Amino acid sequence: MREAAMQFENRCDAGGQLAARLARYGGCSDAIVLALPRGGVAVGYEIAVALSLPLDVFLVRKLGVPCSEELAMGAIASGGVRVLNDEIVELLGISHETIDEVTQRERVELERRERVYRGDRPEPEVEGRTVILVDDGLATGASMRAAVSALRAQNPARIVVAVGVAPPDTYREFAAMVDEVVAVMTPEPFSGVGAWYRDFSQMTDDEVRSLLERAARR
């Protein structure tokens, strides 16, 4: 666990520190880095470069609670996977109609991002490979849970979740869910992902696409 006063300078810093913790995967012919846009792509790029691994995106969209978008009631991922946070749904009495409405809206955005980020490139083959799933951090973990569920349907050999920061309970949840979870910080109290970055600026679609193109050229 890192001291509460410690922060990443930015997502590149987080990616470099994660790469050091993932060094055993460097140059593995069967490994691939899949990053969750947008913020996870900057982190994943540093990992992919440091470890000489291919980089691609894995599209996930959070399902925000109406009137409180930052609170996740679930998430969707490529392949039609939807994961709900049953505790939040039941606590707030969110209707099936509301969930379906938010799901449809976020699915439109997910499909748009797939076109923008990947263009004509096919989705990466993950069957039988080690997949390193990357994001800048976990809070509730809803988006990452959706990504893990979607990936499992594609039969990877191993799923590794790598994030800059996560609360201890979410870290333990994923440690029991995937083959390996790596986090640089697991602070308590947590205070949200952005609190652990000095620069947590929102990334643009152009920045994401640029990093993916740079990675592909390597």
Q: Tell me the whole-structure pTM to 2 decimals.
A: 0.86
* Residues 204-214, mean pLDDT to the nearest whole number: 95
Of the CA atoms within 13 Å of residue 149, those in its CB half-sphere come to: 18
Q: Is the domain defined by 11-59+125-217 classed in CATH 3.40.50.2020? A: yes
Name the residue ranges covered by the structural domains of the chain.
Answer: 11-59+125-217
* Residues 3-17, mean pLDDT to the nearest whole number: 86
The answer to whether residue 3 scores a pLDDT higher than 50 is no
Where are any strands of DSSP class E within 25-113? 31-35, 55-57, 60-65, 68-77, 81-84
Dihedral of the CA atoms 191, 194, 198, 200 (nearest 10)? -170
The answer to whether residue 20 scores a pLDDT higher than 70 is yes
Inter-residue contact 87 to 81 (CB < 8 Å): no
* Residues 120-128, mean pLDDT to the nearest whole number: 88
Q: Which SS3 state, helix, strand or coil, does residue 177 take? A: coil
Across the strands, what pairs with 163?
A: 135, 183
